[in-house]
């Protein structure tokens, strides 16, 4: 696998992760549910 192939695969993976994140936020908004994240080494629940 060449470096160019690796870069293309990396770009596709990152695009897929971004799409999944957007879908998750949309789902959380529709169901009025919280998103759990870590900020400054603490678990925090936020409303999207």
Tens digits of residue pLDDT in 19-35: 999 999 999 999 999 99
Number of C-beta neighbours around residue 45 at 10 A: 9
Q: Tell me, yes or no, if the pTM score tops 0.85.
A: no
d(CA 28, CA 34): 7
Average pLDDT of span 13-19:
98
């Amino acid at each position: 696998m060449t470096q160019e192939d690796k870069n293309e695969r990396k770009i596709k993976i990152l695009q897929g992760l971004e799409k999944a994140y957007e879908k998750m936020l949309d789902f959380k908004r529709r169901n009025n549910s919280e998103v759990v994240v870590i900020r400054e080494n603490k678990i925090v629940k936020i409303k999207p």
